[in-house]
Structure formats: structure tokens, C-alpha cells
Structure 1
Amino acid sequence: MSTTEPELFPLAEGIHARIADDIPLIHAGVANDFIDSVTPTTAALLRWWFQDDARERRTANFHNGQRDAILAIIYAHEILESTSLKDLYDKVRREALLHNGMLGEVTSERHGYPKYAAKMATGTGKTWVLNALLIWQHLNNRADPTDPRFSSNFLIVAPGLIVYDRLLDSFLGTKGASERDFATSDIYAQRELFVPDDRRPALFSFLQTSVVTKKEIGSKVTGTGMIAITNWHLLAGVEDPDFLDDDEERILAPGEEIDVAAAIGSFFPLTPGTSTGNSLETLDRRFARGRPLDHLVGLSNLVVFNDEAHHVHQIANADETTDVEWQKSLSAIAEPKGRRFVQVDFSATPYNETGSGSKRRKKWFPHIVVDFPLFAAMRQGLVKSLALDKRTEIASLPLDFTAERDERNQIIGLSDGQRTMIRAGVKKLQILEQKFVETNEVKHPKLLIVTEDTKVSPFVEDFLRESGLSDDEFLRVDSGRKTELGPKEWEPMRERLFDIDRHSDPTVIISVLMLREGFDVNNICVIVPLRSSASGILLEQTIGRGLRLMWRGDEAIDELKLETRQRMQLHKAPTNYFDVLFVVEHPAFEGFYDDLVGTGVAVAVDDASDSTSATGDLETVELRDGYESYDFRVPAIIRDVEEELVRPSIDPLSLEVGKYPLDDLLAMIGTGDRFASHDLETGTQYGDFRVDGGVMTATGYNDYLSRITNRITEALGRTFVNTTQQYNRLSEFPILQTHKPLLLGWIDRYIRSRLFGRAFDPLDAENWRVLLLADVSKDIAGVFATALLESQQSVAVREAIVHHRLASEVSTITVRTSAAVAVTKCIYPKLRVPARGGGLERLFIEWADTDAAVEALLKIDEFRHDYLHRPYLKADGMPAQYSPDFLVRTAHEVYVVETKAQSALSDENVQRKKRAALAWCEQLNELAPEHRDDRLWHYVLLGESTARDWHSKGEQASRLLAFARLRRDNGPTDVPLFS
């Protein structure tokens, strides 16, 4: 590495270089150095969070930036076992200590313990990363309390009351009429993502009994640990207005010099005083201030998470740096703990600014271990794209972007420049409102006006009234307004503010700095920054209020958003405004925008953009007149609660032979080395055996059979349900629990007599070792999960209840006009096809629509026609969901059609989807004719070359469907449904 060009983030770049090769292996579930180097508990979490099999079963997953942050911190702390920042540099990038005074910085006392910073762009889900790391720490500490790397004591520090309240919501759930509802907490609501099933009861018990608010630190008794949530004022020794209900309101900016008397009063609360100073009530309240710090100092171990950590560190003054007061408190808390104190900082802007004017520069935190910048988040579509609204009338004005003042420097009104900027913002908002509501009536774009002073805000209100807005259409939120209204009126306004996404009014929010952090709504689409600030941190935080995505989960809109990002990379203006954040130009923002425009994630637009359609060529298509003639009535079988399941019957000797020849496996694993068995799912070591050229004991082999049996039945149980609630309800009476001993015997017989196509004794010599290979276990699991699923098709039901779902339940769809296909025989007048690579779908729609034998057709919406999803088992035995492409109805048949490129037809999982759909059609055909409209259901897997060949010869689409429908040669029970 060059000594003249130091890395910007040496730890982040060094760690990423070390783990980059392991990341795809973690996704694929393949053995790798990272997984092999962590505890079994951590390995189980990583598989649950990142392995593709697990991700495909969920709708919510960590994105790449969140994944990289989690892996970087786990690597640094658990694998490298970092004990201090200097130790981490020595292990990752020792040469970086030679640059820019880094050696003196990282060896200072404030970095004498494990310390990591995650640089993540605003709106990219830092709280989810925090949650994951807390779970990682707690579960490992629970597994081994003596391991110094892990803790179950946590202190989560917020920069202010807004973020503090959001963190309480995240861990305790939102507050109802009387108490918080834990079911609405982030970790519980997203439990399918955060924690495996078997770890949930213990984790949820910990969360429900161990969360401590800032007023309870030092007084609330918890059991196995503590999650203390506070804002920085507690550690600074100065309370914010709501903390301990002080009579005198005081707001202190982070880094401001702390009043000596106030600081002494916070740490030594009982002092001689006047007549009121030593009243019992006053003394009791002051005494309470000493408890939190004493309690935190006295803990044997602690992990501190600093949210929005740009408030945390140093304030630069010329060439001198000093810690802010509350960072000194963290150092005091850390001192007796050594390596058992860990600090993790999260920020989109982890730097301090030094100098001024043209000499202003950023001094980045030295402990940044992961960098997920704003431009990367924009390129991946995780946040809104950015457009700088450069209007010619603004560009021609003098730079009067600050309010007008009189000779005494008192604010007397808005400047012409400010008025013009507000007009531009309101006009842009009106353009978005009209089009967005036409696309989705519950989407309400908002305008945020950031003023320079609380005294300016009332003038903004007056100007909006002059512009024709009613009082209901705007909301002023700043500290001055809070003082005006008082607590009783302020609280309802605050609730209204944080719920603005769901309501059409207010459309305009006016604020100074109060909404800088924690104001995490999705529908801010326009920002007018009247505040002139040279601070890059304040600037990025202002922009950050509008970055969160407004539009999610619509295929056509996602396609338009991708097109916008691609155009911006070419420095072209967007053709639509879905998830584009418009910022009306301000001279203080110019350099910031230039950087983003240069990276191709932002673009400047001018007056011509007013003629651009906010929704591009997106079109909302409603049901056509007379749609009933083209509707599909899909039978849904509700099985009676008194159903009787036929006892599963599997002949292990009739199952397929395993894929891997025994001799090859034995040659690969060799002999004589030590070997420890780990559970495939949890990574837990098990088995009563020793590997020293000796023999596996029967106990160890039985343990293996038990665990592989549990894995198979667990996978099978998940296949039949769509939600966690359904799974939990059904698992109370698991259909296969009674037959587990039977299944275990079948697996044992299969291993001994069929797996390798010859007799196999796992207890002979070292043969058993081949069973512990991941691919062999997956092969066994896949074969038996498939066979069990087949056996469950044989269900004796005393009575079945059938109801029907209509395709027209989805009353509107969105299409791109340029890519849509006009149709006649469909409930919708147009159908969506992909703008790229949709040639086969377009051909099939047009072909079927002109076929006289076709009565109706429908392109299934993968996201909205979810009741047409079909469960199936993947090749490795894991459950998944599959959505076919089309339904086509003729006089006597309904065809479920999947169109595929010819090269994809032989894919093993495509074949499994085929068999799952075929089984569904056969099940429907067993219903009484009146339940299926006197039609038979068939499945067609249509290859592209076949379709184009028949089409080119002038054949009818219906004739091809009748010819290509899947059928069984020897009846529905002779051929396995899954192989």
C-alpha cells in the first residue's frame, strides 16, 4: 500500500477485503472460514439471517449494507477478538497508524476498549443492525456467560427525545391507551428475520423483562441482563426538559460547554442550599440523579450502542480537541471493565468538522469498520434518488436566502429569495400530489420547509396562507411552538406529525432543527432548505429526513425507479418521480450536490421538469366494464377440523439412491484426524464420540438420526402455511410428531441399505464421517422431506368445505403504458409485461387473446394474487413458495401456465415447482364438478422455443395448451410428485 495515499477508512477497507470471499459462501450455505471461526450460536444466527434458503422464505431481509455492517463488527469483535482500537489496527491495518496522527489518536484513553463505528446512510436501517448485534451479544452471553466477548447488559444512547421515543417503540412496542404493546416492537414484529424459532421464547422473555427507561436506570431490578435506553443528557449530567420533570427547562447542544454548577449538581446531588434546595422532594429527585451513573459504572460488562453517533465524540477547537462531557462519562463507565466494555457507534455522518470556509474539512472517526455511503444506498434503490430543483427564477435572484431584518437585526419577514423558494417547493408538491393520488389514493407526498430560526417560522405560515393553503394543510413544529402550546396540546400535535404518512393533511411541515433526527417518515418528497448552514453534518441530516422510500412492492413502479437510477448514472433527468427527493436549490448546498451528481446518483432539473409526468408512463388499470365474464373462480379447500391423516408409509428401499458415491466420499475425508460434529441448523456440537482413528459410538449416531429427523419434519411443517401465526397454531398439534420414531427408523434403514446403493455400516471403522458432510445430509433431508410430503397428499377427510377466491378481488393493477399489452378477454383492459425480457409473455398474451377457443385469460400478479401461490420443496428439502404466470380458461378446462426460457426447463427447482402445481390441479380435479365450474384444471410448463414454433405455424394457443398439459402415465399415485 502506498504511504502517500492513506485509505479513507482503513479498518473498513481492511475488514471487507478479508471477509469478501466468504460472503457468497455464507449466502450459499457452503462451509467457509468465517462460519468456522465463530461460536455455534453465532453460526446459527448467520445462517438464519443470510443463507439463501432462509431468505427465500421471508418477505423481509437484511440488505447488503446491513449485512456488511453486521459481519464487519462480528469479525472484528468475535473472530479477531479486538480488545482496543489500537489492537484492532494492529490486526487489520497497522500501516495506517503512520498517517495523519492516527497512532496518537487510537492510543488515547478514549479508545482503550473494543470500539466500532458503522457508517450507514440515513434511511438504510441502522436500527435493524443494532437489533441484530444486540441479539448476537445476548444469545452468546446466554450460551457462555464466561466468554469476555459477550454481554447481556446494554446501554442504548439516543441524541434526543424523538430518537429516544423511537427506540422505546422499537424495543417495547408502541404505546396504547394504558401500556405498550410488545407485539408491535421491531424484533417481535420482524421475528421471522431476527431470530430462529427455537431461540424466540428466551429472547422475548429477556426483552419484556429487561428494558429500562432513562428514569429507571439504577432503580429497576432486572434478571439476566439489562437494556437501558436513554438520551445523552443523562450521561452529560444535565437533564433534558422531560427528564425527572425539572422545573427549569434547559436544552443543551451536544458539545456545548457544560455549566460547572450543573455538572456538580448532577454527580453530587445533595448540596447545602436555600429553603427550597433541601426540601425532601427536591433532595429525593436530586439524589436519583446519582444512581444511573453509579449503576452503569458498577456493572461488570456493558455494550453501548450510540444511535446517531455524530453527537458523541470530539469537538474541534483550532488544534485542540476535547471530548464532549457525556463521552467522558462513557470513559468513566468503561474504565473498570476493560475489554468487557464495548462501544458501537451508528451514524450517517461519523465525522467532526475542523476549520471554516474553504479550509473546512471532515475528520472521520478512526473506528469506522464499515462504510455504506449515501451514493451506494441510492444506486441500490434503498433510499430515494436526489434531484436538485434549479429554477431559472431562483438562479437570477440575488443571494437573499436569509430573512429580512431591521436596523436592530430583528426578523421582520421573509426575503424575496425565500418566498420564491417556497413557491417552487409548493408547486412541485402540487405536481406530485395530483399524480401520486391517481396512482395510489393512500400515498400523500409532503413538503418539508426547514427555516433558519424559530422566529422565521410564523412568517412562513403567513406566506403559505397568502398562497392559498388552509391552516389544516401545514403544521409548524419547533421548540418555540412547543412552548406556545404546552404539554397537553403539544402531545396530540406530535402524534399527528409522526402519523402524517397515512393522512392527506398536513401537506407542508415547517421546522427548524427539531426534526433533524428520528423524524423517520416516508412521504417527504420535497425539501425547501431556508436555513443557511455551512455545517455538512446539519446539511446531510436535513436531506436525510426525506430519503426513506415511499413506494414499495409494486413491480411496475420498481421498474420505473430502476430506470430513474440508470438515467441518473448517465446524468439524465428522470422520466418519473417515484421515490425522487426534490430539494429546491440553496447556495449552501452546492458542494454537497456536486459530489452526488458526480457519482451519478443525483441530478439537477430545471423548469422543463414541470412538464415531466410525476408517474412517468405508469398507468393504473381498473376492472373493465363487464369484467364478470372474464373472471376466474378459484376453488380454495378448507379442510374440516376432524380430518383424519393416513399414517405415512415409506419404503426406504424404494427411494432414490444418494447422489454421492461412497468410495469417493471416503477418499475425500481421509482417516485418523479429529472431527467434531455440529448440528446443521444451529451449529451446536453434539454426539458422544471421539475421532482418533477410532469408532463412532451408537449414542453419537443416534443423536445424528434424531437431529436429521427433526430437520426434515420441521421443513415439512413449514411447507403448508403462509404465516408464522398459522405455523405456530398448527405446530401445537404437529401432524408428524407421533410418527417421528417411525421416520427415524426409515432413515436408519435408508442409510444402511439404500443411500449408497449398497450395504453401509456407519459404525464400522470411520464410515460414519461421510454422514456429517453437509451435502450428504442435505441429500438425505431432500429425499425424505419429499417422500413425506407425498405421503401427506393421502388424507382421508370426512368432509371438505370449499370456498372460492375471485381474480377480481384485485380491483386495480399498475402497468407501464410503453410495456403493457391491450387485451379483450381479461378482467383488465391491459396486462403488464416486463419492459425488458418480456417477449415470450407478450407473445403468449396476444396469441391467447385472439384464440376463439379461449374464453378468458389472466396474468397472475405475484404480489397481490398471493392466494395462487403454491408451496413446494426445493432440491435441498427446504420449503418455498411459487407463483405461476397465467390462468387461461376454455369451455371445459382451466390451464395454469408457466412460461420459461427453454434453457431453464431442466432446472431441478423448476421441475419441483412443476410437480407442486400438478399436484394442486389434481387435487382440484377431485372436487365435485360444481366446485370447479364443471371444468378440469391442468398445468402447462411452456418452453419458449415450443411456443414460438407453434405460433409461427399458425396453430391456436389453446391447442398447444391441450397438447402440452402435464399428465401422468399411470395415475396420480404411481409417479412421485417431488423427486
Structure 2
Amino acid sequence: QRMMLRAGLTRLNNLAEGFSPIDATRHPKMLVICEDTSVVPLVMEFLLQEGLGEEDLLEIHSSRKGDVTQDEWDKIKQQLFGIDRRQQPKIIVSVLMLREGFDVNNICVIVPLRSHSSSILLEQTIGRGLRLMWREPEYQDSKQESREKLLVRKQEPDNYMDILHIVEHPLFIDFYERELSGALGEVSSLPSKDRVVGDILRIPLKKGFEDYDFSWPLIIHDREEFLPTGELSLEGLEPFPVPLAELQPFIAKEGDTFYGEEMTRKTRFGEYTVTADIYTAMSYNTFIQKIVHAVSQVPSGIQRRSKDTFPVMQINTAHIAKLTDEYIRTRLFNQTFDPLAGNNWRILVLAREQIIGHILRNVSGRIYDMHHNLSVKDAHVLQHPLSGVSSIKVRESYALDVAKAIYEKLPYPSNKGGFEKAFMDYIDADVKVSSFIKLLQHQHDFVAILYMREDGLLAHYFPDFLVRIGDDVYIIET
């Protein structure tokens, strides 16, 4: 078992050295599965003796949970589920405790430590490392070729991306052969760190890339007209021509008196008064709402009998309501007017055609002015440089050395990519071409044109090349 742990450490270090130049944020991890909690202290002691620090190890099992406080245990679990983003810890030591919710992607090496009569199942072993670490589209071709070499041709793969390494005792190999017969491969020796990721190269921006750079326009918004959103002024709104004092006598009573009358003898009885209290703040709000609705709609005018209306304006209605309320309270009668005091509310509906019509004409006029005093906002366009992608990942076997691009190498497809390779060779040697770039959809994802497909759905078009000749830039589709 010590030998198995050393083999796992060697493979882990080999993977880490190979992954780092391609993507320094990918941190491979090793999982040690013990069948009993009594074994864990021995494993931890051995790993420390091998030169690992305490920060490199994470111990998680049921006994460990009982040895620490609940807060410390929560921190341990948080550390476990965030382990993909951190370089340390490198090794997880567990006792079959990692079950549901184990969302770790970077388990690359598993070392199961068990006795001959162990109850550790094969599914419990390999299930911990089935999440993909390299799932981005730019790695798919390379991974597919490695799977074909390993599983079909029975050859050593070109790279070790998303290959789970299980360091197992020979006595238990038959378990895997029964479950995975026909899908097992063998390696003759450990690959060099350069072969861990196969022929994938990380190509940074070259020196002097500014001379070959492109910018792609990103339209934040087109040229637009906006309604002003400031406060609406009462200035210019006309008061009602009849003074408030002349209108008040018509509603002098505090309430209307109702009585019951027996129809045969005309006996009156049970007098009662209906006061203005029924006119509440809520009903005044409804009055304001109806005014706003009236001034915001116009008839369609399509048919004589049509009663359809279309909104003149569906925004700023709160400003219109505020303007209407302030107009009624301060300007309509050239004095302060409280519609909720006494019987004042009756004045607003006393002569509907006169007073309400007067309110509508004045507020509608203010809306008309708003529509003819639009503010214009010019188009906002950002220039996104392609050099914002500081590096690209290419396959050395399918990359071409170029002189007129921001990168020293540009890729072409591994499947039927001969035409693109010949095209890049041609334009790189053409003196009329000052610069060009091969666009990678998953890395230059902002270089896209929105269009409508034949079925009416919106989609993005991703061009293949940008080519600059003189002052002109051409979009090339191969």
C-alpha cells in the first residue's frame, strides 16, 4: 500500500507539471479511499513523511466529524467542495464518506486501500473521478483522438486529459476486467510532462501584436429618442375660469337627506343623511387614475364604430398622476384646494363637461409638449480588440506559423482543414494583405453577427477569418 501511495503521488505530480503550462488554474487532485477510520492516521503520517505539508492534505470521514466542532466541520466541507479552485490541498483522504453532493471535477488519481475481504465496490471507487476536468470545446478533438488510440487501437494515448488513473493492487484487477472488459488499456511507462496534454500548445500574443490587431464593434444601443423624465412643471396650466367661491354654494349642504315614504298614506319616516365621507382617499386615487388613462389613450380611428384605443404613452404615468394631483390642489382654482375636505370632491364632478374637460385639456397639452420635446441619444458602440484574448490554445499538429497575425501560430481544423491551411499560407505571403486572424468561436465568442434564420428564430453567425487589405477589413467564410 505504501508503494501504491507513492505511485499515486508520482502520477499526480506528473499530471500537475503537464497541466500547468496549458492552464495554471487546473489543479489535479488525488483521492485516497480507506475502508476503515483506523487506517486514516497511518496514511496521513506516511504522506507527511513523504514530504507533503499539512496544507496539502484534507482528511474527511465520520470519526473526523466527531473530533472537531460543527463550525470547523463546516469549514472542512466548504474546503472540500471548493477544492477545484485551489492548488492546495492536493490529496483527499476519505473513508467511503464522499457520496451524494460530491461535486469535485479535478479528481485525476484514485488510490483505494483495502484488504482482501474489503467491501469497497468498484462503483464507489471510479464514481468519484467521473466528472470532467477538461470539458471546454477546444480540447474535444485532442481528447477524441486519445480515446480512439486507447480504446480502439489499444495504443498509448497522446494526452492524459480527462483520463482517470486508479492505482490498484494486482489482486483486484479482475474486478475491473469483469466490469470494464474491452475498455482497458495499458501504458508501458509514465508519460513525460509534455505528453500529459498531448500536442496542445498555449500561444500568447507575440511582440508587436499591435500592428496586426483587429477591433470588433459591439453595439450597446442604436441612436434613440427618449421622452424627458424630469419633473413636469405646472407652469402654463390654466386655472378654471369660474372661481371656487362661486361654485361652492351649489354644494353647500353637508349631506343629502333621504327618508322613507309609505306609498298609500304618504307617511314619511326614518330620515337619514348621506354625507361626503364616502369619498375617500382611495376613490380620489381612482379619479386621478381615470384622468391619467384618458389622457394616455387615443381612439384608433380605423372604423367609425370601433371603440379600440391605443396608448399614446405607456411610461411616465406616475409623473402624469403627480402633475394632475398638484394641478387640482394648487392651480385649478388659483388657490389651495383639498378635494378630501368637506364636500369639495363634489366640485370636480359638478359640471363634468366643464371642469373635468378643462383638466383633460391642460394635462393632455403637457403630454403633447413632452412628445415634441424628445431628447436624442447617439449610438453607443464599443470597439473590442481581438488582442483582449491574451492567448489561444492550438494543437501543434494542426497549427501554422504565420507572420501577419497577433499570434505566432494559428490553428486549422483537424478534419478537412486543408483548405483553411492553404488559405492562410496564401494570404500570409500576399503583400497586399497587412494582417489577418483565424477566429476561434469558443475563444473569440464576441465576434458574432446576429441574424434571423429561415424558421424565424434568432441565431449567431461566427465568421472564420478577418482579413485587412489597406483600409478595408473583409469578413471571410470558408
| TM-score, scaled to structure 1 | 0.33
- Give the 3-state SS of the residue equivalent to 2:477 in structure 1: strand
Q: Specify which structure has the higher proportion of strand.
A: 2
Number of the residue aligned with 2:133: 550
Q: 1:605 to 1:518 in 2, by over 3 A?
A: farther
C-alpha distance 838-595 of structure 1, shift in aligned 2 (>3 A): farther
Match of 2:456 in 1: 877
1:629 aligned partner: 211
- Alpha-carbon shift at residue 838 of structure 1 (Å): 0.7
For 1:806, which of 366, 385, 388 is the aligned residue? Answer: 385
The 3 A distance-change label for structure 1 pair 854 and 594 is same
* 2:385 partner amino acid: L
- Supply the distance in 1 between the matched residues of 2:57 and 2:219 (Cα, whole angstroms): 51
Identity fraction in percent: 45
Superposed displacement of residue 598, structure 1 = 3.1
The residue matched to 1:455 in structure 2 has which SS?
helix
Tell me how far apart the structure 2 counterparts of residues 458 and 570 of structure 1 sit (CA, whole Å): 43
| Residue 843 of structure 1 pairs with residue 407 of structure 2 | no
> Is 1:514 matched with 2:93?
no
Deviations 1:442-485, CA, capped at 9 Å, x for gaps: 11100001112111111111111111111101111111111111
* SS of residue in 2 equivalent to 1:621: strand
- Per the TM alignment, residue 487 of structure 1 is displaced from its structure 2 partner at its CA by 1.3
Give the letter aligned to residue 137 of structure 2: D
Q: Aligned runs of 1:244-255 on 2, under 5 Å?
A: none
Q: Distance in 2 between matches of 1:520 and 1:894?
A: 46
The one-letter code sitting in structure 2 at the alignment partner of 1:862 is Q
Q: Is the contact made by 1:517 and 1:541 (CA closer than 8 Å) also made in structure 2?
A: no
Partner of 1:439: 22
Alignment of 1:522-671 (within 5 A): 522-532=105-115, 538-555=121-138, 557-567=139-149, 568-587=151-170, 589-595=172-178, 598-600=181-183, 602-609=184-191, 613-639=195-221, 642-643=224-225
Question: What's the CA shift for 1:633?
Answer: 1.8
**CA positional deviation for 1:641:** 7.4
Asked whether the 8 Å contact 1:617–1:818 carries over to 2, the reply is yes
Alignment of 1:11-410 (within 5 A): none
CA contact (8 A) 1:539 1:589 kept: no
Residue 124 of structure 2 aligns with an amino acid whose one-letter code is: Q
Matched residues in 2 for 1:627 and 1:894: separation?
Answer: 17
8 A contact 2:223–2:377 mirrored in 1? no
CA contact (8 A) 1:569 1:599 kept: no
Give how far 1:588 is off: 5.3
Structure 1 residues 812 and 611: alpha-carbon distance in aligned structure 2, compared to 1, 3 A threshold:
closer
* Aligned residue identity for 1:848: I
Taking structure 2 as the reference length, what is the TM-score of the superposition? Answer: 0.66
1:424 alignment counterpart: 7
**Residues 516 and 542 in structure 1, CA contact (< 8 A), matched pair in contact too:** no
Q: Indicate conservation of the 8 Å contact 1:575/1:612, yes or no.
A: no
SS in 2 for 1:825: coil
In 2: Cα distance, 1:641 partner to 1:488 partner: 55
**Cα distance, 1:607 vs structure 2:** 2.5
Determine the C-alpha separation between the residues in 2 that align with 1:521 and 1:630.
41
For residue 32 of structure 2, what is the aligned residue in structure 1?
A: 449
Question: CA, structure 1 residues 812+475, in 2 after alignment: closer, same or farther (shift >3 Å)?
Answer: same
Aligned counterparts of 1:554 and 1:434: Cα–Cα separation in 2: 22
Contact 2:35/2:118 (8 A) holds in 1: no
How far 1:551 moved relative to its partner? 0.9
Structure number with larger C-alpha Rg: 2
Gaps of 5+ in 1: 1-417, 645-741, 743-795, 900-979
Aligned residues: 334
CA RMSD of aligned residues (A): 2.6
1:835 counterpart letter in structure 2 = S
Paired with 1:610 and 1:638, the residues of 2 have a C-alpha distance of 48
Counterpart of 1:896 in structure 2 is 475
Q: Deviations over 1:895-935 (max 9, x none)?
A: 11000xxxxxxxxxxxxxxxxxxxxxxxxxxxxxxxxxxxx
Distance in 1 between residues matched to 2:382 and 2:474, nearest whole Å: 20
Q: What amino acid is the match of 2:425?
A: E
CA distance in 2, matches of 1:551, 1:876: 35
C-alpha separation between the residues in 2 aligned to 1:535 and 1:835?
46
Q: Is the counterpart of residue 473 in structure 1 residue 56 in structure 2?
A: yes
Aligned to 2:41, which of 448, 452, 458? 458
Deviations 1:790-843 (A, max 9, x none): xxxxxx975112221000111111111111111111111001112221111111
SS of corresponding position for 2:3: helix
> In the superposition, relative to structure 1, how do residues 609 and 799 fare at CA in structure 2: closer, same or farther (>3 Å)?
closer
Q: Could you tell me how far apart the structure 2 residues matched to 1:836 and 1:629 are?
A: 31
Name the CA shift for 1:874/1:533 in 2 (closer, same or farther; >3 Å).
farther
Residue correspondence of structure 1 range 750-765 to structure 2 within 5 A: none
1:855 is paired with a residue whose SS is: strand
* 1:597, distance to aligned residue in structure 2 (A): 5.2
Change (3 A) 1:855 1:533: farther
Partner of 1:828: 407
Q: CA shift at 1:871, angstroms?
A: 1.5
Higher helix residue share:
1
Pair 1:830–1:596, CA change in 2 (3 A): farther
